[in-house]
Amino acid sequence: MKVNSKIALLALTATLSGLAHAEDLPTFQLDMSNGKVSPTRIEVPAGKRIKIAIKNSGTSAVEFESVQLRKEKVLAPGGESFVVIAPLDPGEYKFFDDFNQATGQGVIVAK
């Protein structure tokens, strides 16, 4: 096997491994739509990595953002994606739709 083929195979294996690992995480659903987020409160286990599956069911772009968690994700209308969050200490962590900050706010509560 050529060196380039080995590198490509290793990169593919690492990517698939990372995806499989993300799929095994406790997953919490978040819908963002035209300036609203649902649910506005997501309770998660403290001390465990989690995945927030985000869906934009609205007609305009949205941006999941949390300054406290250092996460952001832009989604086009109809788009779906996720963010993986490192283990959290007990507490509340705000998030918002950066394109609709006045109405699109929520909180992740780690217990």
> What is the domain-level CATH number for residue 95?
2.60.40.420
**Is the separation of the CB atoms in 52 and 67 below 8 Å?**
no
pLDDT at 39 over 50: yes
Whole-prediction pTM: 0.77
| Within-domain flag for 53 | yes
- Number of separate domains in the chain: 1
| Within-domain flag for 63 | yes
Residue that wins the pLDDT comparison between 20 and 61: 61
Split at pLDDT 50, 70, 90, the class of 24 is confident
| Within-domain flag for 97 | yes
**Is the separation of the CB atoms in 37 and 53 below 8 Å?**
no
| Within-domain flag for 54 | yes
The pLDDT, as a whole number, for residue 4 is 54
Helix (H) or strand (E) holding 10: helix 3-23
